[in-house]
Amino acid sequence: MQTTNPVGIGPFNLPLRSSERRLLLLAVDLLLANVAVLLSLWLWTWRDPARQFSHEFVRSQAYWFVALAGLWFIVVYVHELYDAHVAHNLGSSAAALTRGSLMLWLAYLVAYFFAPRQLLPRGVVLYFCVIALVLVGLWRAAYVFLARAAFRIPTLVVGAGWAGRTIVQTISESADSECELIGYVDDDPAKRGQVVEGLQVIGTSDELMALVRGRGIAQVILAITHELKGDLLARLLDCLELGAAVVPMPVVYERMTGRVPVEHVGDNWYVALPTEPPGLHGLYPFAKRLSDIVLAGAGLVFLGLALPFIAAAIYLDSPGPILYSQERVGKGGRLFRMYKFRSMIPDAEDGGAVWAQPNDARITTVGRLLRKTHVDEFPQFLNILRGEMSVVGPRPERPEFVEELQREIPFYRVRHAVRPGMGGWGLIRQGYAASREDALVRLQYDLYYVKHQSLMLDALILLRTIVDTLTLGGR
């Protein structure tokens, strides 16, 4: 649970928002990565008397700064070291840094053995991986302490109802939260002084300005889903004049979790929807389609080479069809047939469509491996080439499930505003949906993707999917 801070901002407090924290992490990481390159070059010359460490030598080896620091950034980015959940947890940061260093070293070893002899010295990269791991590891440990002790933002929550309780619970359960919860503000007399989700109701909206002044409040979370009354709106404007940010609860929730809280937007329906139809403007739709064609073409070439071996393994394990297709709902609600390698016993759904469960008894031995490596999805490269799917996007759902979910879950149809994908934000953050509850969580992730889709986000999802495949992280 978060503890309240009755005295507001302390003398050494420097409240930083999420974007500012990421910028700080990035700047210091890149600085230390370049320091690690410099130390690696010095160690390389120290171990080889034929070389002399000098300004001219460093300048002649300048490409190492670009190559190693750039590769380091990509590797740690893929391992989510700029995600708040990882960055604010010492154990998660250490594990991610170690995995990233090993991945960089192993990738370099592969390149080394295929490159001409003496072209790629192993020593520099090995020294870099070790030194960068130590320097960045020490910095990340210091950052975890600073984030907890000095970077927190004193925060009031306006509204102790359902939405207020949800955001307080989310913040309280998250060790990486930027918020230092001070208390609720609620006009219900019965709630005054009550403790809700571990946080006390400390005042009413009439006392909002006094609380902002007296407690050093830097952020006010508006957790009211109905229409604002004029008096409350005026007081919130007063808070803005005092320098406190006023942020709707769904915005904070989305920023913390990477999900859109569809069940808590209330009258603020616009919070859950993109401000304009996604993927229609600028170079993004062209670049996305071009990358889809290139990646699908390369994927089909690989699939053609591997198909005889995959087909033989599937048939020998469970005689029956190698491929199967299912009707799925695509962009604009249009139906299409999606192709997959069969990973279950033949006629696994004679009784009708059912959610696939973890450790599903219908999955074959080879099918389990295909799912772990996501190879069962590779025939969808054909769907991508035909324009029915994209490499990155919300996972397409079956029409039987869509009909049910559209009735029960608000905004479900918004996920059909973009092409469905082989890999998606919901897939790397949550996994495959196995129930209505899972579908609700996945929808929250899908809406986040629809609102924030970009080439950078697509690249992150694609790289994370590749890492997930190499580490057998499929379902």
Residue 275 in any domain: the answer is no
29 or 118, higher pLDDT: 29
Structure tokens at 87: 């960055």
Whether residue 350 is found in the same domain as residue 215: no
pLDDT of residue 387: 93
pLDDT of residue 98: 86
Region 39-59 average pLDDT? 85
Whether residue 170 is found in the same domain as residue 23: no
Region 180-204 average pLDDT? 90
Q: Is the pLDDT of residue 3 over 50?
A: no
Residue 140 in any domain: the answer is yes
Residue 56 in any domain: the answer is yes
246 or 268, higher pLDDT: 246
CB 461 within 8 A of CB 395: no
Calculate what percentage of the chain has a pLDDT beyond 90: 23
DSSP code for 456: H
Burial class (CB in 10 A: 0-12, 13-18, 19+), 22: middle
pLDDT of residue 340: 92
Whether residue 328 is found in the same domain as residue 464: yes
Q: Grade residue 391 by pLDDT with cuts at 50, 70 and 90.
A: very high
Q: Grade residue 351 by pLDDT with cuts at 50, 70 and 90.
A: low
262 or 353, higher pLDDT: 262
Region 250-256 average pLDDT? 84
Count of domains in the chain?
A: 3
CB 393 within 8 A of CB 449: yes
Task: Examine the fold and report which residue of 149, 174, 203 is the final residue of a domain before the chain moves on.
Answer: 149
In order of 45, 115, 301, the CA distances from 105 in angstroms are 20, 15, 28
pLDDT of residue 468: 78
Whether residue 82 is found in the same domain as residue 104: yes
Q: Is the pLDDT of residue 17 over 70?
A: yes
Whether residue 139 is found in the same domain as residue 61: yes
Whether residue 245 is found in the same domain as residue 349: no
Residue 10 in any domain: the answer is no
With H, G, I as helix, E, B as strand and everything else as coil, classify residue 340.
Answer: strand
pLDDT of residue 4: 41
pLDDT of residue 255: 82
Whether residue 446 is found in the same domain as residue 305: yes
167-180 per-position pLDDT tens digit: 999 888 876 677 88
Residue 399 in any domain: the answer is yes
The label of the residue with tokens 């499929």 reads: 474
pLDDT of residue 9: 43
Three-state DSSP string of 27-63: HHHHHHHHHHHHHHHHHHHHCCCCCCCCHHHHHHCCH
Region 333-341 average pLDDT? 93
Q: Grade residue 272 by pLDDT with cuts at 50, 70 and 90.
A: low
137-170 per-position pLDDT tens digit: 999 999 888 887 777 888 999 989 888 999 999 8
* Boundaries of domain holding 249: 153-268
Q: Are strands 323-329 and 335-341 parallel, antiparallel or unpaired?
A: antiparallel
Q: Grade residue 13 by pLDDT with cuts at 50, 70 and 90.
A: low
| Tally of CA atoms within 13 A in the half-sphere of 38 that contains its CB | 11
Q: Are strands 179-185 and 153-158 parallel, antiparallel or unpaired?
A: parallel
pLDDT of residue 2: 41
Whether residue 259 is found in the same domain as residue 292: no
Distance CA(11)–CA(29), nearest Å, equals 27
Whether residue 301 is found in the same domain as residue 425: yes
Residue 444 in any domain: the answer is yes
b/e for 70-95, b at 16 or more Cβ within 10 A? ebbbebbbbbbbbbbebbbbeebbee
Structure tokens at 9: 């901002």
Length in residues, the chain? 475
Whether residue 340 is found in the same domain as residue 406: yes
- Close Cβ partners of 310 (under 8 Å, ≥ 6 residues apart): 322, 341, 370, 375
pLDDT of residue 45: 86
256 or 14, higher pLDDT: 256
Region 422-433 average pLDDT? 81
pLDDT of residue 417: 86
Distance CA(392)–CA(374), nearest Å, equals 14
Whether residue 303 is found in the same domain as residue 433: yes
Closest Cα partner for 442 from 389, 400, 393, 394?
394
Whether residue 330 is found in the same domain as residue 261: no
pLDDT of residue 54: 86
Structure tokens at 235: 């007081």
Residue 274 in any domain: the answer is no
Task: Examine the fold and report which residue of 149, 184, 199 is the final residue of a domain before the chain moves on.
Answer: 149
CB 225 within 8 A of CB 163: yes
Gyration radius (Cα) of the chain, Å: 26
Region 296-319 average pLDDT? 92
Distance CA(238)–CA(220), nearest Å, equals 11
Q: Grade residue 389 by pLDDT with cuts at 50, 70 and 90.
A: very high
Distance CA(13)–CA(8), nearest Å, equals 9
Distance CA(196)–CA(169), nearest Å, equals 9
The label of the residue with tokens 């959610």 reads: 355
Burial class (CB in 10 A: 0-12, 13-18, 19+), 328: buried
pLDDT of residue 157: 94
Lowest mean pLDDT among 68-77, 124-133, 404-413, 422-431: 404-413
Closest Cα partner for 229 from 156, 166, 154, 158?
158
Q: Is the pLDDT of residue 103 over 90?
A: no
Region 249-278 average pLDDT? 70
Distance CA(391)–CA(293), nearest Å, equals 9
Q: Grade residue 273 by pLDDT with cuts at 50, 70 and 90.
A: low
Amino acid at position 64, single letter: W
CATH number of domain containing 197:
3.40.50.720
Other CB atoms within a 10 A radius of the CB of residue 417 amount to 20
Structure tokens at 118: 């003496």
Region 361-386 average pLDDT? 89
H helix or E strand, kind and range, residue 294: helix 284-317
Task: Examine the fold and report which residue of 149, 177, 207 is the final residue of a domain before the chain moves on.
Answer: 149
456 or 138, higher pLDDT: 138
Mean pLDDT, rounded, of the chain: 82
Helix-strand-coil split of the chain, %, nearest 5: 55, 10, 35
What angle (nearest 5°) sits at the alpha carbon of residue 26, between those of residues 142 and 111? 105
pLDDT of residue 93: 86
Q: Grade residue 5 by pLDDT with cuts at 50, 70 and 90.
A: very low
In order of 62, 204, 248, 283, 456, the CA distances from 158 in angstroms are 54, 9, 10, 41, 34
- Close Cβ partners of 254 (under 8 Å, ≥ 6 residues apart): 260, 261, 271, 448
251 or 329, higher pLDDT: 329
Lowest mean pLDDT among 212-216, 377-381, 411-415: 411-415
Q: Is the pLDDT of residue 337 over 90?
A: yes
Residue 9 in any domain: the answer is no
pLDDT of residue 88: 80
Calculate what percentage of the chain has a pLDDT beyond 70: 85
- Close Cβ partners of 178 (under 8 Å, ≥ 6 residues apart): 15, 16, 17, 18, 21, 84, 151, 152, 153
Structure tokens at 349: 């759904």
